Every structure is written in C-alpha cells, then in structure tokens.
C-alpha cells in the first residue's frame, strides 16, 4: 500500500491547480476504482503558484534560492541585514524558526518595520506558505513583501544585494475528491495531498494512511467515506501579482474527467 506514498512524494511541489496535481488526481481515481465505490469531484477555485526562478545577486555572484509561496514576482534591492537589525529599506536575513509556521510572523513583523524582503537561511532549503495575516485562512492574501530560502547567507551580511523572484500565478480550478461506499451519512477519513517540495510528512503520509484505512473498511463492507483535499495551504484566488509579475486567469472547466 506504500504505492500511494511513493506516488505522492514523487511530485516536487504538488500544488493546487498544477498539471502535476491533475495527473495525481487521475491516478488516485484509477487506484481507488472498485465496483463498490462511488466518487464525487468538487471544484475549488484556487490560486495556482509556480516558481520559475529565484536568485540573489551579491556583486558578481548569483545565489540560487527557493521563493516562499505565495510571494509575488519581485525585483528588490537593499543591504542584507539581520532581521532584528535596521531593516527599513533593506533585505532582512533570518534563520528559520524552530517551528517553521512561525516564519510567517517574522515576515509580517519585518514588513511592518519597512523591510523590502525577508530571506531565510540554512540547510536544507525549505518552502512554507506565507500569508498576509496571522492564522490560517484560505482567503488570506499573500505576504506584503517577498520571502525566499537560501542555504548560506551569513558571509554576505552587510553587503548590498538584489533579490529577483520570478513566479507564475493564475486563478484556475482544482478538485476535492470524495469517495464513498454508502449513500447514508457515514464517517469520513480525510487528508490533503497538496505539498511543497517532497511533502512526505505534510501530507503524503496522511494520504497513505487515509487511503489504506478507507480501502480496508471498504473490503470489510463497512460504510465509510474518504475525503482527499486540495489547497490546504492556499491563498485567495484572483489576486493581483503586483508590478512586474506574470499572471493569467483561466476559466473553470479546464480540468476534465
């Protein structure tokens, strides 16, 4: 049954509205298809986000990085300074907090203090969704300033630099998948499949466990439902990318089953 886990983790950045997600959803439907199981696909409007390139130019050196979703396209310049220093008009540098979800609060505070961007440094490089307000809401806006992850910036503190983030953002449609073997009200086992980078713990292992439990209960003829969801880490669709960005909007119906 680890086949589900292997398939899920084979996708780097399995994000809402992407072609990779559509392929994975087709695969799940085939994998789960048995005579006793029905399916319902529920359309969800999402902001699809995909990185083209992120780099930091320091003198003649260009360092590759990972943009943190959902940073808008950006080209900003400033001095690299510690996040607890004089960040106004500069680019703040910080280590990822022990709880990576707290990265959002570092970005929001740096933006409040006038930073041009926040760069997280350390190995391995990470992605964590950064929204423009505390808490976790699907309709949150992206963070007010760009953020990115780089392996090692400590040797460049104090130098002037230029951060370039090139991403594609588009409003499109994805689907939540519900599978069930009974038309009565039944318990539901649920998990989300969208993830950044490999996504083993967030949340391919959860998808594996949910599918395994559902399949075993179906085999025992126990009434049960399975909910597999997209856009667990999303922001509000139909947002402007800001100046210099690339953004398109596509109508619903471009995912066909």
Q: What's residue 253's pLDDT?
A: 35
Residue closest to 51 by CA, chosen among 249, 254, 250, 246: 246
Structure tokens at 233: 């880490």
Question: With 0-12 CB in 10 A as exposed, 13-18 as middle and 19+ as buried, what is 161?
Answer: buried
Q: What's residue 257's pLDDT?
A: 40
The pTM score is 0.84
Q: What's residue 134's pLDDT?
A: 79
First-to-last C-alpha distance (Å) of the chain = 25
Distance of alpha carbon 34 from alpha carbon 214, whole angstroms: 12
**Residue 85: HSE in the Cβ half-sphere, 13 Å Cα cutoff:** 13
Q: pLDDT of the chain along its 257 residues, tens only?
A: 699 999 999 998 999 999 999 999 999 999 999 999 999 999 999 989 999 999 999 999 999 999 999 999 999 999 999 999 999 999 999 999 988 889 999 999 999 999 999 999 998 899 988 888 777 666 677 889 999 999 999 899 999 999 999 999 989 999 999 999 999 989 999 999 999 998 999 999 999 999 999 999 999 999 999 999 998 877 767 554 443 344 333 333 333 34
Could you tell me if 70 and 235 are in contact, meaning their C-beta atoms sit under 8 angstroms apart? yes
User: What string of DSSP letters covers 2-41?
Assistant: THHHHHHHTSSSB-TT-HHHHHHHHHHHHHH--TT-EEEE
Distance of alpha carbon 5 from alpha carbon 119, whole angstroms: 31
Crossing angle for the helix pair 205-219 and 19-32, to the nearest 10 degrees: 20
Q: What's residue 144's pLDDT?
A: 92
Q: What's residue 83's pLDDT?
A: 96
Q: What's residue 246's pLDDT?
A: 40
Q: What's residue 232's pLDDT?
A: 84
> CA 255 from chain center: how many Å?
20
């Amino acid at each position: 049954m680890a086949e589900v886990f292997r398939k899920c983790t084979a996708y780097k950045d399995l994000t809402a509205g992407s072609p990779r997600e559509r392929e994975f959803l087709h695969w799940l439907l085939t994998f789960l298809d048995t005579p006793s199981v029905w399916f319902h696909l529920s359309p969800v409007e999402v902001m699809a986000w995909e990185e083209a390139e992120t780099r930091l130019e320091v003198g003649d050196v260009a360092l590759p990085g990972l943009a943190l979703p959902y940073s808008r396209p950006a080209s900003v310049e400033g001095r690299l300074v510690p996040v607890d220093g004089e960040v106004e008009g500069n680019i703040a540098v910080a280590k990822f907090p022990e709880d990576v979800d707290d990265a959002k609060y570092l970005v929001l505070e740096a933006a409040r203090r006038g930073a041009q961007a926040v760069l997280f440094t350390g190995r391995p490089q990470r992605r964590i969704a950064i929204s423009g307000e505390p808490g976790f809401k699907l309709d949150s806006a992206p963070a007010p300033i760009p953020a990115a992850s780089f392996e090692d910036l400590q040797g460049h503190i104090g130098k002037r630099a230029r951060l370039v983030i090139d991403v594609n953002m588009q409003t499109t449609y994805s689907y939540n998948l519900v599978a069930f073997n009974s038309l009565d009200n039944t318990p539901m086992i649920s998990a989300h499949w969208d993830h950044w980078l490999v996504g083993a713990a967030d949340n391919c292992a959860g998808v594996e466990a949910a599918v395994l439990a559902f399949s075993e209960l179906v085999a025992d003829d126990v009434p049960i439902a399975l909910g597999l969801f997209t856009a667990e880490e999303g922001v509000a669709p139909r947002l402007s990318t800001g100046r210099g960005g690339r953004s398109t909007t596509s109508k619903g119906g471009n995912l066909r089953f």
